[in-house]
A and B are shown apart, each in its own frame.
Chain A
Amino acid sequence: MSALFILIGISILVAGSFLTAFLWSVRNGQYEDDYTPSIRILFDNTSEPTKTEPSIKPLIQTK
C-alpha cells in the first residue's frame, strides 16, 4: 500500500508542474494579447532587406 503514497505524491507533483506552467505563462504576459501573435506569425523574417517588387498594386482606395 505504500506504493499508493508515492503515487499520490507524484500525481500532485505532476499537477503542480502544470499549475506552475500556467502561472508562468500568465506572468509572462501570454494572456494579455491573444490575437496579435496569430498575425505576427505570418510575417517572414525578412530581417535583412531583399529587393522584391510588390506583387499587388497597392494603395488604390477601395470602399
Chain B
Amino acid sequence: MDNISFCCEGCKQVYLLLNENNLCVYYNFEKAPGIKAKGKFVSGKFAYLDDTEIIQKLVQFTSDTQTNISFQLPQMHCSSCVFLLENLHRIEPGIIKSITNFQRKEVFIIFDPLKISLRKVVELLAFIGYEPSIRLQDSFEKPIIPFNKKELYHIGVAGFCFSNIMMLSFPEYFSAGNIEQAGLKATFAWLNLSLSLPVLFFSASGIFISAWKGIRQKFLNIDVPLALAILVTFGRSYYEIISGQGAGWLDSGTGIVFFMLIGRWFQNKTYDSFSFDRDYKSYFPLGVTKLMNGKEINIPVTQLTKGDCIIIRNEEMVPADAILDQGEANIDYSFVSGESKPVAKKIGDLIYAGGKQCGSSIRMQVVKEASQSYITQLWNNDIFKRKKNIATSFIHPWSKYFTAALFLVAITAGIYWALVESSKILPSVTAVLIVACPCSLLLSATFTYGNMLRIFGKNKLYLKNAGVIESLAKINTIVFDKTGTITQNEFAKVFYEGVKLTNHEIAIVKLATGQSSHPLSRTIYNFLSSYHSKEELTLEYFKEYAGKGLSAVVDGVIVKIGSGNFVKQLACQTIFDGSGSYIHVVLDGVYKGFFIISNQYREGINITINHLKEKKYELLLLSGDNDAEKKTLEELFASKNNILFNQSPQDKLNTIKNLQDQNKKVLMLGDGLNDAGALMQSDVGIAVSDHSAQFSPACDAIIDGSKMELVHAILAYARTGKKIVAASFALSIVYNIVGLSFAVKGTLSPMVAAILMPTSSISIVLLVTFLSSLCARGLSKASKNQSLST
C-alpha cells in the first residue's frame, strides 16, 4: 500500500478512492487531514432518501437535467475538506458541481438525477467522512437563511450620499454661509437635496418601518425618537432649501442614517455555522425502516404510529419510544444525557427515543409517536413557545426616558420663545429635535456589545445575540449539569491493572479494539494509540458481542476483551463494578488484567468553582445520574444541599423555575438533550460542546468544552461591558447637553451640528471599542494561564 499506514479500514478505503481519481493532493494541504471515516458502512442507513416525498422536501430545485441541494456538513474543518468537497465531480461524474461555504459548513451540490440518485450522493459524502446532517427539521422549514443583501445596499447608498453631501456642504461652512456666487450656493443646496432623497426613502426605510411597528404596538422603541429626528432634520432642511433661506442639515441627517446602519450591521454579524434554536427535530432522523407484512419499507418518522414494527440498525437512532422485540439492544444515550456508556437492554424492555443502537440490527414495536415520546414531550412545555433574549436590551427602557426628556426640552424651549420672541419658536424646537439624536446612545451599546461578541468568539464562546451579554451581567446563580459539562466525554481516564503487557500484546489489543465501534473499545484504542509498533499483524477473525465484549484472532492469538461475565475468568470475579467501567483482557485463555475507564473531571474545574464561590455566586449541580460520585462532587462544591441526583429533564426545568421564582437570575450550563428544558428556562443557557460540529440543544450560547473553566472570567467581562455602556451613555448625554444648549437658544447653525454629530458618534465608537478591548485583557489572561497549565 505505497508504504502508507492507516488507522482503520475506512480511512484506507477513502484513500483508495481518492488515489483512483487522482485527488491525493488532498493530503498535501494539511497534515493528516482525514476525518475518522466510518469504517463500517451500513448501506440501509440512507434508504429513506429514495422516498420521492422526502426528496422533494429536501431539494431546492430539480429538473430533468439537474437537481440542486444544500447540505450541512458539520465535519468540515480545514482547507483539505474544501478541496475534496469541491472536486466531488471527479469522483462521481453524476455530480455536476459542488460549492462549499466554509464558515457556514455548507456544501451546495448540483447533480444529474438521471446519472446519480440523491441517496448515492449522500452515501458518497458519508463514505468520504462527511455525513450530512439531514434532520427532521429540514423537511419542515428550510433552515438555510438567505444572506441579507438589502442591508448592504442600504449602507452603500447611505455612505455614497452622505460623503457627497458632506463634501458639497464644505463651501457653505468655510465661507460662513456667504458664498459669493448665488448660483453656486443654490446648486450645492439642490444637489444635496436630490442626494438626500435615496437616503430618506431607501436607506432609512428599515428605521421607519421598525418605528411604525413600535407605535402600532404602543411600544416606544428606540427607533421612534430616531425616526422623528430623521424626519425633522430632513423636513426642516427641505423647507430651508426650497424657500431659499439656507443650506439645511442634510449632512447631519444622512450621517445619522449611515452611522446607525453601520452600527446595526456590526452588531448583527453573528455566527452562521451555529444553530441556537434546535429542538428535538434536529436530532432525530428523517426516515425509519418499518416492517410491514414481512417487507422492509422506508417511511418518514412523522408517519410512525403506535404499534408499528421498526428496524434499527447499528449507529441508528431510535426515533420513538418503543419496546424491544428481537435482537440485542445496546443503547447509547449520549445524545440524551451526555453519558457515553451504552446500556444493554433485554427483550421486552422499553427503549426511549433518542438512544442510539450500537451493534447488530434490532426490531422494535413503537409504543408512542415520535412527538409524544418521553424526551420529546418536554418540547410541548410552554417554555419552548416563548422567545427569549430578544429585544430585551436595556436601551429600550432608556429610550422612553430619552423621548420624554426630549419632548420636555422642546416644549419648554417653544413656550419660552413664544413669550420672548415668537419668530424663534420653530427654529429652536426643530433644532432640539435634530441635535438631540439618540444615535450616540444607540451606537455606544451596539458597538460595545458587537465588539464583545467578537472577543467572546475568539475565546470560543459563541453568543446568540448581543442581548445575551446583558443577561449574563445580571446572573447570580449558576447551575451545572454533570456528565459532559463538568466531566469530559472524551479522554476518559483509562488505567490498566494486571500483568504487564508486552509490546506485541499491546499491538494485538490495539488492533482488536480498533475494529469495534463501541465507545469503550474506542476509548481503549485511543488510550493505546500512543504505542506505535512496526509489527504487521493480521486479523484472522473478529466478532463483536453487543453489550458484552469482543473476540478476535490476531496472528494466531485468541483475544477476548469485555465484561467480567463475558471473559468468564475466575480472576476477575473478585472485582466489583464501582463508579467506572471495567474491561477485562484475556489472551489465549490467560487472564492478563483489566482497563478501568472512569469519568474525568475537566481540568481546572475546581479552580473555576472556587473563583465563582469567591464572587458569591450561588452554585448548583443537577445530575441525571445516580449518586455514585456524590462524595467527590460534595468536596468539589463544598456543599451538600446544592447537589441533586437522579434528575429527570422535567425536574431540571422545575428546579430552575423555582430558583427564578426566588428572584434569582440563573445561568445554566449543560450539554445533553436532557438539559434542553433547563437551558431554555434559565435566564442564560450555555450549551457545552466538545466539538463545535456536535449538535447542541436550543440555547443562548455555545461554549467550547475546553473553555469551561473561563466561566468566571466571562461573567466578569459581561459585567464590565455593562459599565462601559453606562459610561459612554454618560458621555453621549454630555454631548447632547452641549448640542441642546445651542438648540434652545435658537442659535444652532448647520456647521455646529455638522461638527457635533460626527464627533460625538465617532468618539463614542472609538471609546467603547478601545475600552471593551482593554477590559478583555482579564479574559485573555485567564485563557493564557489555562493554555500554559495544560
Contacts and interface: CB of A to CB of B under 8 A. Distances in A.
Tell whether A pairs with B: yes
Interface of A: 1, 4-5, 8, 11-12, 15-16, 18-19, 22-23, 26-27, 29, 31-36, 39-40, 42-44, 46, 49-63
B160 A58 contact: no
A51 B22 contact: yes
B21 A36 contact: no
A60 B181 CA distance: 79
Contact of B102 (A16, A23, A36, A61): A36
Contacts of B37: 59
25 contacts: A8-B187, A11-B164, A12-B164, A18-B160, A23-B153, A26-B149, A26-B153, A27-B149, A32-B147, A33-B104, A40-B82, A40-B86, A42-B29, A44-B25, A46-B22, A50-B22, A51-B22, A54-B24, A55-B27, A56-B32, A58-B11, A58-B24, A58-B32, A59-B27, A61-B11
B33 interface: yes
A56 B86 CA distance: 21
A59 B152 contact: no
Interface in B89-113: 90, 100-104
Contacts of B191: 8, 12
Contacts of B181: 1
A36 B34 contact: no
B36 interface: yes
Nearest to A52: B24
Nearest to B19: A54
Contacts of B82: 36, 39-40
Given A23-B156, A36-B101, A40-B86, A15 B32 contact: no
B162 to A, nearest CB: 11
Interface string B437-466: 000000000000000000000000000000
Contacts of B184: 1, 4
B157 interface: yes
Contact of B101 (A33, A42, A52, A61): A33
A27 B147 CA distance: 11
Given A32-B147, A58-B26, 12 more contacts: A1-B184, A15-B160, A18-B160, A27-B149, A42-B29, A58-B33, A59-B6, A59-B11, A59-B14, A59-B15, A60-B34, A62-B31
A23 B21 CA distance: 41
B164 A56 contact: no
B147 A31 contact: yes
A41 B159 CA distance: 31
Contacts of A61: 7-8, 11, 32, 34, 36, 529
Contact of B103 (A8, A36, A52): A36
B163 interface: yes
A55 B83 contact: no
A40 to B, nearest CB: 7
A36 B100 contact: yes
Interface secondary structure of A, over-half rule: loop
B187 A59 contact: no
A42 B32 CA distance: 18
Interface of B: 2-8, 11-12, 14-15, 21-22, 24-29, 31-34, 36-37, 79, 82-83, 86, 90, 100-104, 147, 149, 152-153, 156-157, 160, 163-164, 167-168, 181, 184, 187, 191, 526, 529
What are the 8 tightest A-B residue pairs by CB atom distance, in nearest-first order?
A49-B22, A59-B34, A59-B11, A58-B27, A61-B7, A54-B24, A19-B160, A36-B102
A46 B28 CA distance: 14
A60 B86 CA distance: 23
Contacts of A35: 102-103
A26 B151 CA distance: 10
Nearest to A16: B160
B160 A59 contact: no
A19 B21 CA distance: 45
Contacts of A23: 153, 156-157
Contacts of B14: 59
B519 to A, nearest CB: 15
A63 to B, nearest CB: 7
Which of A1, A23, A49, A58 is most buried by chain B, counting CB atoms within 10 A of its CB? Answer: A58
A59 B16 CA distance: 12
A63 B529 contact: yes
A19 B156 contact: yes
Nearest to B532: A60
Contacts of B24: 52-54, 58
B103 A62 contact: no
Nearest to B188: A8
B278 to A, nearest CB: 23
A4 B526 CA distance: 76
A5 to B, nearest CB: 7
Contacts of B27: 54-56, 58-59
A57 to B, nearest CB: 5
A34 B191 CA distance: 36
Given A23-B156, A54-B24, A60 B32 contact: yes
Which of A5, A29, A55, A60 is most buried by chain B, counting CB atoms within 10 A of its CB? Answer: A60
A11 B188 CA distance: 13
A56 B6 CA distance: 12
B600 to A, nearest CB: 15
A35 B27 CA distance: 21
A51 to B, nearest CB: 7
Given A1-B184, A8-B191, A44-B25, A57 B5 contact: yes
A46 B22 CA distance: 9
B147 A42 contact: no
Which of B26, B100, B102, B181 is most buried by chain A, counting CB atoms within 10 A of its CB? Answer: B102
Contacts of B187: 5, 8
A39 B15 contact: no
A29 B101 CA distance: 12
B4 A58 contact: yes
Contacts of A53: 2, 24
Contacts of A34: 103
Nearest to A61: B7
Contacts of B5: 57, 60
A5 B183 CA distance: 10
Contacts of A49: 21-22, 90
Given A15-B164, A31-B147, A55 B28 contact: yes
B110 to A, nearest CB: 16
Contacts of A8: 168, 187, 191
Which of A29, A50, A54 is most buried by chain B, counting CB atoms within 10 A of its CB? Answer: A54
Contact of B28 (A27, A40, A56): A56
Nearest to B163: A15
A54 B103 CA distance: 28
B156 A60 contact: no
A47 to B, nearest CB: 9
Contacts of B102: 33, 35-36, 39
Contacts of A39: 79, 82-83, 102
Contacts of A26: 149, 152-153, 156
Contacts of B529: 61, 63
A23 B153 CA distance: 6
Contacts of B79: 39, 42
A39 B100 CA distance: 11
A39 B92 CA distance: 23
Contacts of B31: 56, 62
A8 to B, nearest CB: 7
Nearest to B87: A43
